[in-house]
Amino acid sequence: MQCKSTNIPSLVDAIATLASHLPEEAKIAVHLRCQLLAFGYYDNVIDLWNIATAVLTATLKLHEGVTIGTIKSITFSSDGNLLAAGSEWHIMRENVILQSVAFLPDGKLLASGSTEGIKFWDTATGVLKRTVKAADPHSQQDTVTNFHYYIEYHFLQFGCRIRTVEDMALRATLLLLTLGLAWTADAAPSREVKHVLHEKRDSLPERWTKRDRVPRDKLLPMRIGLAQSNLEKAYEHLLDVSHPDSANYGKHWTPEEVIKAFQPSDKTVESVKTWLTDNGISSKRITHSDNRGWLAFFATPDEAERLLKTEFHEFEDSVTGGIMPACDEYHVPHHLKEHVDYITPGIKLLAPVDGQNRIKRDNMVRVVSEDKSKRGKTLTRRVNHALRDPLEEGSARAEAVRAAMSTDPNDLSTCDVAISPACVAALYKIPPATRAHPNNSLGIFESELQFYTQQDLDLFFANFTPQIPQGTHPIAANIDGGQQSTTDPYYAGGEVSLDLQLAYPIVYPQTITDYEVDDFIVQSNPNDTYTFGFNTFLDALDGSYCTFSAYGETGNDPYLDQSYPDPGGWQGELMCGVYKPTNVISVSYGGQEVDLPLSYQRRQCLEYAKLGLQGVSFLFASGDSGVSNYPNSGDGPTGCIGSKLNVFNPTWPNTCPYVTNVGATKVYPGKTVWDPESAVFDPAGHPYSVNYSSGGGFSNVFPIPDYQQDAVANFFKEHNPPYPYYSALAPDTNDIQQMIDIDSLVGNTGGIYNRIGRGVPDVAANGDNIVVYNGGNYTLSGGTSASTPIFASVINRINDERLWAGKSPLGFLNPSLYANPSMLNDITNGTNPGCDTLGFSAVPGWDPVTGLGTPNFPKMLKYYMSLP
């Protein structure tokens, strides 16, 4: 290194300024001719500064895993090419402490002084050349110290980065760095690295107040979310095993293969680890998650601030009184930006959470009333599915329905009044099942205090399906304290009764697995209707999801998802990967896209793709409010969105392109099971308190997937809706608090629906006037909550036949459905009103009311059995 001459006095002030900011215990070395200053820390880190510009040019650390203690001495060779540093190293059997290092005048030898004496090292080879021990052990310390002062007097010292040399006899550590040329292969000096802004908070939420800097004696639990590999290829991978034209159709992946496909690359892991270890974070301090998605370590505030070029302050939450560390922005090296997803603590402000008082994001808190007098008969909470008011015993309506119903459960003449199992079988040409494959079970998701009673099941079996034995019940798969059943008819759940009593007549003797999610306390929280326990459900099916990092989130969201153990509730740990998912899972719950952050939706959507790769079919009810949500549901008095409350309101997680959505149809009065069905619509009033129509529309988050492009394009070409539209999707973001800004998407178009979003639903089935026993009473129910278990049961029956034939389950359904829509019954009549419009229309081909149509079991079975 060639150093220019300089005016030494002119640098004195600059040195004094830099030194004034150093800790008292820092060791300083200066090379005036090279205008360099170095100082060492207690944590074995050395900073190298340009004196003239006061710019930090490098941060250096002692060799990983070798030294532990305070840097005792640092020094430059006279030509500025070499730097040496020594530190304490206490060993159990030998308390050896290196006190001083200094170069001889010609720079060929380096002297190190310790509590055992003085050693001379060849700077070119690192070989120990000579050892001088003091005769009197009590004078050793003085001998070393005096030697050091003598060398310091003769040479200008300066601290810079280092390399390790270890004498096994002495068991002490010496570090040496050649500036510009590494002494050994792994001894390359740190270079100045350009840092770039990675995340910055736009504004501080009102509930938070920024306080003082984080105390220097605190430890920060650092977590670095690593950029996952191949996330953009999830759709491609899923199509490869799901599209009927693919040579790999049905060749589903193992859970291990899925984890490996999406885990951070080796380059990402090693790049970030190297950055950490190069900056003083020993590899022994770093934990790597099982799914390789994140790195964790504890750091002092000084370490964290030096790493991220920021300052950490304490932020106080006015709602909970909690304190958390965070920064306003942080930086990462330019070459790591593509490898780092997010870092915490960072800009995210997450209030402390306990199991009994979960704090939601301010703009998400909705207190929704619940009619406890009708518990188990109808839900008035914000569950986006309409359960029909019960038929009150002795009422005129109840008597009229009973009179219309034949005592013969197989009579099809009254299917326009009440839909029995025989009506469903006739509508979709479903023959009775005669066998059950041991590897096949229909999964049904339940939450929101939905407990079945065996009394209701037995009453239903006795009256409508006597071939099903009394006492038949689902397999219990309780998750995080979930409760499956009750003996008290007061607590019988209308949703679970509907699901089970629709599914059993189609699949029996196949089994049903009831996934009951979250403990009683969680399910009793009205705010839980915003997430429904989907994340804890997915955790239980796929253990890697518990720590999966994507879109700025790792694991469950502490605001939106329940944490376990839950005080007063489930005392166990969060259940991760405890259940093997069934081949088909029916879900009759859901909300709206606008109610959840974009990152939350996208991360969860990706998990459905990962499970689809493993051969799991997810079917979701599309919603019961047409193109809107229920009035006064939390999204405004009309259930529509935007500042004008007139924009259509798509459902979640239905718009995720990796699930299959089921809309609803109806046999209208005077029609029979041999007539074409129509899209369901029941106006507000008895028996419904609000309008009921098949949920459908277009996403504001996810684009139209390839498998749906032609169907949607045909709908717009042949049946263009008479409404203004907009063509914009919510941005990709790692900000876990960012919601959909509808007004920004609409812009000045005046549009009320999105022209480029994923279309919903995909298919449909009957969802009105369904006979149910609930709470010991005979009643009628309905909703896409009914349509979904019907379609899911059909798929489960087809899977059973494929398994007996030695084939794989169907897995992700949509590519095959859209590739062969003729196997479905096209619905061409009806609309799904909302937002003061008629909504969309059911038309020939796909439409956002009933999708591709209802099942035709013989055609579907023939088609799917023809696939490999």
Task: Provide the b/e sequence for 47-62 (b: ≥16 CB within 10 Å).
Answer: bbbbbeeeeebbbbbb
Residue 814 half-sphere exposure, CB side, CA atoms within 13 Å? 33
Question: Phi and psi dihedrals of 242, rounded to 5?
Answer: -120, -20
Q: Catalytic residue at 495?
A: yes
Residue among 199, 341, 480, 495 flagged as catalytic: 495
Q: What is the pLDDT of residues 463-496, one digit of tens each?
A: 999 999 999 999 999 999 999 899 999 889 999 9
Which pLDDT belongs to residue 27?
A: 75
Q: What is the 3-state secondary structure (H, E, C) of 218-287?
A: CCEEEEEEECCCCHHHHHHHHHHHHCCCCCCCCCCCCHHHHHHHHCCCHHHHHHHHHHHHHCCCCHHHCE
Residue 21 tokens, joined: 């900011």
Q: Which of 377-391, 471-485, 634-648 shows the highest mean pLDDT?
A: 471-485
**Sequence-separated (6 or more) residues with CB below 8 Å from residue 279:** 45, 59, 61, 303, 306, 307
- Whether the predicted pLDDT of 170 surpasses 70: no
CATH architecture label of 372-719+729-866: 3-Layer(aba) Sandwich (3.40)
Q: What is the mean pLDDT of residues 517-542?
A: 83
pLDDT bracket for residue 687 (50, 70, 90) = low
Which pLDDT belongs to residue 361?
A: 25
Residue among 633, 785, 793, 816 flagged as catalytic: 785
Residue 571 tokens, joined: 């005392």
- Whether the predicted pLDDT of 54 surpasses 90: no
- Whether the predicted pLDDT of 713 surpasses 80: yes
Angstrom distance (rounded) from CA 768 to CA 386:
10
Which pLDDT belongs to residue 105?
A: 74
- Whether the predicted pLDDT of 554 surpasses 50: yes
Q: Is the peptide bond before 565 cis (omega within 30 degrees of 0)?
A: yes
Residue 552 assigned ligand-binding role: no
What is the number of residues in the chain?
A: 868
Residue 845 assigned ligand-binding role: yes
Q: What is the pLDDT of residues 233-274, one digit of tens each?
A: 899 999 999 999 999 999 999 999 998 888 888 999 999 999
Q: Which of 34-43, 132-141, 514-523, 802-811 has the lowest mean pLDDT?
A: 132-141
Q: What is the mean pLDDT of residues 193-211?
A: 87
The structure's pTM equals 0.72
Helix axes 454-464, 494-507, angle to 10 degrees: 40
Which pLDDT belongs to residue 2?
A: 44
Q: Hey, which bits of 755-827 come out as E strands?
A: 757-760, 763-766, 770-774, 777-781, 824-825
Angstrom distance (rounded) from CA 457 to CA 473:
8
pLDDT bracket for residue 167 (50, 70, 90) = very low
Q: In one letter, which amino acid is 455?
A: Q
- Whether the predicted pLDDT of 385 surpasses 90: no
Token pair 């190293």 is found at 89
Q: What is the 3-state secondary structure (H, E, C) of 301-345?
A: HHHHHHHHCCCCEEEEECCCCCEEEECCEEEEEHHHCCCEEEEEC
**Sequence-separated (6 or more) residues with CB below 8 Å from residue 136:** none
Token pair 């590897």 is found at 439
- Please name which of 365, 835, 837, 840 lies closest in space to residue 644, comparing C-alpha atoms: 835
- Please name which of 716, 671, 663 lies closest in space to residue 825, comparing C-alpha atoms: 663
Which pLDDT belongs to residue 24?
A: 55
pLDDT bracket for residue 32 (50, 70, 90) = low
CA distance readout (Å), 388 to 288, 405, 526, 580: 51, 18, 20, 34
- Which of 658 and 391 is assigned the larger pLDDT? 658
Q: Catalytic residue at 499?
A: yes
Q: Which of 174-178, 224-228, 276-280 has the lowest mean pLDDT?
A: 174-178
Beta strand 128-132 pairing with 45-50: unpaired
- What is the share, in percent, of the chain residues with pLDDT greater than 90? 54
Residue 800 tokens, joined: 């059973």
Angstrom distance (rounded) from CA 860 to CA 430:
11
Q: What is the pLDDT of residues 226-237, one digit of tens each?
A: 888 788 889 999
Residue 541 tokens, joined: 């099916």
- What is the share, in percent, of the chain residues with pLDDT greater than 70? 75
Q: Which of 516-525, 649-658, 739-748, 750-759 has the lowest mean pLDDT?
A: 516-525
- Whether the predicted pLDDT of 43 surpasses 80: no
Q: Which of 42-51, 343-352, 445-454 has the lowest mean pLDDT?
A: 42-51
Q: Which of 508-512, 678-682, 777-781 has the lowest mean pLDDT?
A: 777-781
Which pLDDT belongs to residue 745?
A: 98
Angstrom distance (rounded) from CA 570 to CA 728:
43
Q: What is the mean pLDDT of residues 829-837?
A: 96
Average pLDDT in the chain: 81
- Whether the predicted pLDDT of 183 surpasses 60: no
Residue 827 assigned ligand-binding role: yes
Q: What is the pLDDT of residues 416-431, one digit of tens each?
A: 999 999 999 999 999 9
- Whether the predicted pLDDT of 148 surpasses 90: no
Are 660 and 620 a contacting pair, CB within 8 Å?
A: yes
Residue among 278, 416, 480, 499 flagged as catalytic: 499
Residue 13 assigned ligand-binding role: no
Which pLDDT belongs to residue 57?
A: 62
Domain layout of the chain by residue ranges:
9-178, 199-228+263-350, 372-719+729-866
- Please name which of 699, 674, 494 lies closest in space to residue 594, comparing C-alpha atoms: 699
